[in-house]
Homo-oligomer: A and B are copies of this chain.
């Protein structure tokens, strides 16, 4: 039932072989697929996502607690929030290559759910929940070293200002706004992936930002717009 390609990918790239392949299968099964195939009595990923969410929260907390002995509780909390969020987890999900293997119902497939950040976040959490149940936390830590901790070590997350939130608060203080970040460029130079996004407020294209993740690019675009707003005052 599980795509052999995914089984091979996990084994080759992460040295992960599930003992109970039902857990892996459930982690990649959206409820819409389980509902469309009731006769198969499939489990979807929702309960695993519940568990995986807490598995990730603890492991990320422990990693940054130990790595950044100089950070205060407040700084650690900000840093964790920057790592444990939809934008990051959906990126990790893409990086591992999960999107292709998610089992979706027809309706959700047509609605573009396969590339929806919240769904990709769910799958990343569910996978970690499944791995935790199948092989314990040490296996999770090993997997996170290759998928999350390496990004933390690379300094991609911040315990400081969240420019997107700051910008949103500033713009909303003047009334309702619709804020969007549109990916307008993506390039790979010698294995270094880079994104360019554009900030769009109420349909008007404003600043752009570039970074190694969409999130970093969005932060840069938001930061630039904040600086412009302050200069204009």
Contact = CB atoms under 8 A, between A and B. Distances in A.
Given A49-B73, A51-B62, 15 more contacts: A47-B71, A47-B73, A47-B76, A50-B65, A50-B76, A50-B77, A50-B80, A51-B61, A53-B61, A54-B54, A54-B57, A54-B58, A54-B60, A55-B58, A57-B58
B54 A72 contact: no
A141 B47 CA distance: 21
B58 A72 contact: no
Contacts of A168: none
A65 B50 CA distance: 8
A220 B209 CA distance: 53
A1 to B, nearest CB: 21
Nearest to A73: B46
A65 B51 contact: yes
7 contacts: A47-B76, A50-B80, A51-B62, A51-B65, A54-B62, A57-B57, A57-B58
A31 to B, nearest CB: 9
Contacts of A53: 61
A86 interface: no
A54 B58 CA distance: 5
Interface of A: 46-47, 49-51, 53-55, 57-58, 60-62, 65, 71-73, 76-77, 80, 137
Contacts of A80: 50
Given A57-B57, A137-B137, A50 B73 contact: yes
A50 B57 CA distance: 11
A208 B55 CA distance: 39
A73 B55 CA distance: 15
Nearest to A60: B54
Contacts of A47: 65, 71-73, 76
A220 to B, nearest CB: 28
Contacts of A49: 73
A75 to B, nearest CB: 10
A119 to B, nearest CB: 14
Contacts of A72: 46-47
Give the residue among A61, A73, A76, A137 with the most B Cβ atoms within 10 A.
A73
